[in-house]
Amino acid sequence: MSRFFDLVSKPAREMSSALPFLAARHEFERPLIKLDSNENPFGPSPRALEAIGNALATSNLYPDDDCRPLRLKLAAHHGLPPEQVLVTAGSTAMLALLCQTLLGPGLNAVTSERSFIVYSMAVHATGAQLVEVPMRDDTYDLGAILRAIDANTRIIFLANPNNPTGTMVPAQAVEWFLGQVPGHLVVVLDEAYYEFASHFARLRQVTYSNSLEYVARGASVVVLRTFSKAHGLAGLRVGYGLGPAELLGYCARMRNTYSVPSVAQAAAMEALEDTEYTAQVAESNAVQARLLARELEGLGYRIAPTSANFLYCDTGEDAAGFAGRLREEGVAVRPLGGWGAPNCIRVTIGTPEQNDIFVRALRRVGVVPDRRGPAAARFGG
């Protein structure tokens, strides 16, 4: 037994120190094309970069603790009162605040298996339990989630699109689901990939999300958005929650002081305004998703239909070893054994050049036979 084992909290003892999604970059002996973290391969918009440069001059001052200018801009952008917006250090910080505010020992949250791994971390840090129900066809089984709710449930997490499968729950299904959920529960609609999913939905002529309507009418729903993905600000850590003013007020009490740097706030302000850049990123992602899916399925791999900026790929073998061979070829992808999918990898959709290098590396690594199937229809092509 170690020196501090009896001193640390029970959640700290029981939570695994092996975080499969946080591979240390110093582990790699050579430069890699990073297709393992769902980052925007094009970086921030020029307007955001200019705002970052301007904000550096006042870095000697603490940031606005309330993120008021950004919060007001987000409220106007989404047509909500400012009291229904809470800016945090990435959407993961918003997840942690919700869990700290609503959960504790003896309580639980419910989600699906093979979903965002931070849900487990945020829940277990409070001493609560996370109930994970099986998936159906690589996506959420909403009926199974409803059946898993008990008297101790306080939160339901619905990642839409889901990470790591990339699959989307249509707006009509979410509407039905919310109508079945007991009123005392809080449903977290995690829309980190909102811009990509919206673009795919338009191409496919389907309705993706009516989440802001639920927030506007006061439902027990919190919508999560982030500047880490389509806006290219992952390294600055800025996200936000949209939900009931009273609940967000309680969450704000739990927030760390000065948690969102002034540089991040300034960059987010301009990124939100630069809709032309975000639209270009989403369009490139959709085109490359279609092309990359065709390539992978042509090589024999099973691909789940994506609404995000990554592909979920069944390799037909141990994914860790498969990813290791790709790393030797200079490409980093995410093996999903830690998510309960030991034969699957998640591949970020990169630039055309990055995707071409990945496909060529894949051909050198090997091909799974007898798994061919059309991908174009699934990806709006």
Assigned token pair, 251: 């969450």
Q: Are 135 and 166 in contact (CB under 8 A)?
A: no
Enter the tokens of residue 348. Answer: 């970020």
Confidence of residue 372 (pLDDT cuts 50, 70, 90): very low
pLDDT tier for residue 67 given thresholds of 50, 70 and 90? very high
What token pair was written down for 190? 């995690």
Is it the case that residue 374 has pLDDT exceeding 50?
no
Residues 265 and 242 in one domain: yes
Percent of residues, the chain, with pLDDT higher than 90? 86
> Where is the domain boundary, 275, 295, 317?
275
**Of 275, 299, 316, which residue constitutes the final position of a domain?**
275
Does the residue 252 lie in any domain?
yes
299 and 263 within one domain: no
Residue 365, pLDDT score: 86
Segments of the chain assigned E as strands: 33-34, 85-88, 108-112, 129-133, 153-159, 186-190, 221-226, 239-242, 302-303, 310-314, 331-332, 334-335, 344-348
Q: Compute the Cα dihedral for 22, 27, 31, 35 and give only its sign.
A: negative
* Residue 37: inside a domain: no
Question: Is the pLDDT confidence value at 79 over 80?
Answer: yes
pLDDT at position 25 over 60: no
Lowest mean pLDDT among 161-175, 209-223, 267-281, 354-368: 354-368
Structurally, the chain folds into a number of domains equal to: 2
The pLDDT value given to residue 19: 52
In a shared domain, residues 239 and 106: yes
What is the domain extent for residue 319?
276-379
Q: pLDDT tier at 373 (50, 70, 90 boundaries)?
A: very low
Whether the pLDDT of residue 54 is over 90: the answer is: yes
- Which tens digits make up the pLDDT trace of 91-142? 999 999 999 999 999 999 999 999 999 999 999 999 999 999 999 999 999 9
Looking at the domain assignment, is residue 283 inside a domain? yes
In a domain, 16, yes or no: no
Q: Residues 199, 259: one domain? A: yes
The predicted model gives 369-381 an average pLDDT of 38
pLDDT at 27 over 80: no
338-349 confidence digits (pLDDT tens): 999 999 999 999
267 assigned to some structural domain: yes
For residue 374, give the CATH number of its domain.
3.90.1150.10
- For the chain, what is the mean pLDDT? 91
Query: Does 29 have pLDDT greater than 60?
Result: no
For the cut 90, the answer to whether the pLDDT of residue 13 exceeds it is no
Residue 9: what pLDDT?
Answer: 75
How far apart are the C-alpha atoms of 144 and 157, rounded to whole Å?
A: 13
Instruction: Choose among 300, 301, 325, 264: nearest CA to 87.
Output: 264
266 and 288 fall within a common domain: no
Q: Are 102 and 236 within one domain?
A: yes
